[in-house]
Structure 1
Amino acid sequence: MTDRRLSRGLHEDPGLQPERTSLSWTRTSLSLMVVAATMVRWSAEFPAVILVLATLMFGLALVIVLDGRPRYERGAWGIAGEAMTPNIVPVAVVTACMVLFGVTELALILRSMAGA
């Protein structure tokens, strides 16, 4: 691999793998924002819980978006240097948050149905 390629952070397949990963994280953050905005319809019944959940979802989406460019560059450099490491912590954090959000929303739905 030439020094010119490494100095620009490129690899043999420029943009493909890091680009797919970046797009996937962007879709995840967009999904979080849509779900948080959709939850507003429950704000009359559960104002405090919905406010906390929506704020946490928007915050997580913002963190994902802000870390997008550095994550893309790490991926490109990792491919260029043939030294990729798995990105386990962010995936585990997002998974845990999504499970927490899902369980909380399910509990709110069940509570709402029991009160009806």
Structure 2
Amino acid sequence: MTTDSTRPSHDDPGLQPERTDLAWNRTMLSMMASAGVFLRWLPQHGWFAGCLIATATITTVAIGLGRKRRLQRAIEGIHQGIVQPPAATVTALAASVITLSLLGICAILFNSLAV
């Protein structure tokens, strides 16, 4: 079995960095699924649904672009004995999810008021 020399290694038997990376992958998948749900709203809500789709897509791309850096930082943290959580990333993701939730609720409420 050959090992990938470009992939950083660590001595964590629990594979914590890999599990965390998989969790971020699931988060990306959830955001893509949300964008798919918002696609169904396009005929009814128009540009408003487009904003929801754009927000979910931008969040997905941002998570994807930072994956390698987060994994590398986690592995370096294991070697150094202390792992710093990605507070800015988690805060930005929370803000994105809250924004999507509030905009989704507004779309539902304003649609029910218009009927």
Give the TM-score taking structure 1 as reference length.
Answer: 0.85
Give the drift of 1:9. 4.3
Is 1:12 the counterpart of 2:40 in the alignment?
no
Name the CA shift for 1:9/1:82 in 2 (closer, same or farther; >3 Å): farther
Percent identity of equivalent pairs: 30
Distance 1:26 1:103 in 2: 24
Give the drift of 1:63. 1.2
Distance 2:47 2:89 in 1: 27
Task: Show CA shifts across 1:84-104 (max 9, x none).
Answer: 112111001100110011011
1:71 aligns with 70
Native 8 Å contact 2:17 2:71 kept in 1: yes
**What residue ranges of structure 1 are gaps of 5+ in the alignment?**
1-7
Give the drift of 1:83. 2.6
2:52 aligns with 53
Distance 1:77 1:14 in 2: 15
1:93 aligns with 92
Give the drift of 1:24. 0.7
Name the CA shift for 1:106/1:88 in 2 (closer, same or farther; >3 Å): same
2:3 aligns with none
**Stretches (4+) displaced over 6 A:** none
Name the CA shift for 1:9/1:81 in 2 (closer, same or farther; >3 Å): farther
1:4 aligns with none
- How many residue pairs get aligned? The number is 109
1:62 aligns with 61
Distance 2:64 2:13 in 1: 21
Is 1:31 the counterpart of 2:30 in the alignment?
yes
Native 8 Å contact 1:10 1:77 kept in 2: no
RMSD: 1.6
**What residue ranges of structure 2 are gaps of 5+ in the alignment?**
1-6
Give the drift of 1:11. 2.9
Distance 2:9 2:39 in 1: 43
